[in-house]
């Protein structure tokens, strides 16, 4: 192949949207090939826009993982929605995620309506997620329903982030929709998120697992300090001390997070520490404290302190 025949390098931004718990963050992680967005079966787990970078010889895709668009009940909810709306207008392609194992409902139609209203000129595709959960006839039926929802001009791709099925096809479709352009990030970089943001997210993800429904929205995590351990001997591996605070809104929630004799908080620390060590590439001492910040989701001053 001559230089004249070499396809032009393409690059651009993609945002996956959908109801909470449609697999957007899991899909982002699968395409990037490494965990950069937290996942949970709890609605509205994602609270920041996190950029994941897919590097290919012919292209670079920047996947913008956003909170799920929803009807807000708090100031935090409103700010998360504003974050999503800003993202819609800045990306090149919006992928509407619909799970294969759930019928399309009013919530899905509302989100598509919001996308069309806020980003009328942005290319929209359909992504049918979780196809590993249903039989092929059900996948075909849901693909038709998704195509009818988005219209004949929108491409529709079935995928499974869990098994990896069709991820390469989805990446090819997205690359084909991008304009020729340079890479935005150095080759090999997988996210532009600061390490402290990712650390806080990993702790929050661990704390969300197995808790009652009222807690997830009331839980926030901030990193207080990250300090390299100075007193290590030459024959010892480097270590970093990470001090984090988990905020809840009520004393009863504090008890849930800590657990009987500290058992839950200890488990959260063990799970999160493993992910933080993988992120930093060094041993970590993780110190977790739980504090009550009454009604922080509705308090502008407290929201600012927690980064919202």
- Binding-site residue numbers are 18-25, 65-69, 129-132
What are residue 49's phi and psi, to 5 degrees?
-80, 120
What pLDDT score does 19 carry? 81
Please list, residue by residue across 104-137, b when 16 or more beta carbons sit within 10 angstroms of its beta carbon and e when fewer do: beebbeebbebbeebbeebbbbbbbbbbeebeee
What pLDDT score does 195 carry? 76
Are 88 and 222 within one domain?
A: no
What pLDDT score does 280 carry? 82
What pLDDT score does 215 carry? 59
Contact by Cβ (8 Å): 25, 39? yes
What pLDDT score does 41 carry? 44
What are residue 158's phi and psi, to 5 degrees?
-85, 135
What is each CA distance from 16 to 31, 138, 162, 170, in whole angstroms?
12, 22, 17, 12
Are 15 and 161 within one domain?
A: yes
What pLDDT score does 40 carry? 46
2 domain residue, yes or no: no
Are 121 and 244 within one domain?
A: no
Count of the separate structural domains present in the chain: 2
What pLDDT score does 60 carry? 92
Which of left, alpha, beta for 21 (phi over 0: left; psi -120 to 50: alpha)? left
Are 215 and 172 within one domain?
A: no
Residue-wise pLDDT for 230-259, tens only, equals 877 777 778 889 899 888 888 888 888 888
> What CATH number does the domain containing 98 carry?
3.40.50.300
- pTM here is 0.63
Residue-wise pLDDT for 154-179, tens only, equals 999 999 998 999 999 999 999 999 99
Of the residues 120, 150, 177, which one is the last residue of a structural domain? Answer: 177
211 domain residue, yes or no: yes
Are 144 and 18 within one domain?
A: yes
- Binding-site residue numbers for GTP are 18-25, 65-69, 129-132
246 domain residue, yes or no: yes
237 domain residue, yes or no: yes
Contact by Cβ (8 Å): 248, 215? yes
Of the residues 144, 177, 210, which one is the last residue of a structural domain? Answer: 177
Of the residues 177, 203, 233, which one is the last residue of a structural domain? Answer: 177
Please list, residue by residue across 47-72, b when 16 or more beta carbons sit within 10 angstroms of its beta carbon and e when fewer do: bbbbbbbbbeeebbbbbbbbbbbbee
Distance CA 217, CA 42 (A): 9
Containing structural domain, residue 267: 195-306
Instruction: State the DSSP code for 191.
Output: B
Segment-wise mean pLDDT, segments of 10 residues, the chain, 308 residues = 62 88 85 67 50 88 74 63 71 94 92 88 94 94 95 94 92 95 81 74 81 64 84 79 88 85 89 87 89 79 70
Are 128 and 264 within one domain?
A: no
Are 206 and 101 within one domain?
A: no
55 domain residue, yes or no: yes
161 domain residue, yes or no: yes
């Amino acid at each position: 192949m001559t230089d004249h025949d070499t396809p032009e390098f393409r690059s651009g931004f993609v945002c996956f949207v959908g109801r909470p718990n449609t697999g957007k963050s899991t899909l982002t992680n699968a395409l990037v090939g490494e965990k950069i967005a937290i996942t949970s079966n709890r609605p509205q787990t994602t609270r920041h826009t996190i950029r994941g970078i897919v590097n290919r010889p012919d292209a670079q895709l920047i996947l913008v993982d956003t909170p799920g668009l929803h009807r807000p009940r708090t100031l935090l909810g409103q700010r998360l929605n504003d974050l999503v709306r800003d993202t819609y207008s800045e990306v090149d392609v919006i992928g509407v995620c619909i799970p294969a194992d759930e019928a399309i409902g009013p919530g899905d139609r509302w989100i598509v309506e919001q996308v069309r209203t806020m980003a009328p000129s942005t290319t929209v595709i359909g992504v049918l997620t979780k196809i590993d959960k249903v039989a092929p006839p059900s996948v075909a039926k849901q693909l038709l329903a998704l195509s009818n929802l988005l219209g004949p001009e929108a491409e529709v791709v079935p995928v499974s982030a869990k098994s990896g099925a069709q991820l390469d096809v989805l990446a090819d479709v997205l690359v084909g929709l991008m304009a020729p352009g340079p890479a935005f990030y150095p080759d090999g970089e997988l996210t532009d998120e600061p390490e402290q943001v990712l650390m806080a997210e990993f702790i929050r993800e661990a704390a969300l697992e197995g808790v009652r429904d009222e807690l997830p929205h009331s839980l926030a995590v901030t990193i207080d300090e990250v300090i390299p351990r100075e007193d290590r001997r030459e024959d010892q591996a480097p270590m970093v001390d990470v001090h984090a605070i988990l905020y809840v809104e009520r004393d009863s929630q504090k008890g849930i997070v800590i657990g009987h004799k500290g058992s839950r908080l200890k488990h959260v620390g063990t799970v999160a520490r493993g992910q933080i060590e993988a992120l930093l590439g060094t041993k970590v001492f993780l110190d977790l404290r739980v504090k009550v910040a009454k009604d922080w989701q509705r308090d502008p001053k407290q929201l600012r302190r927690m980064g919202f």
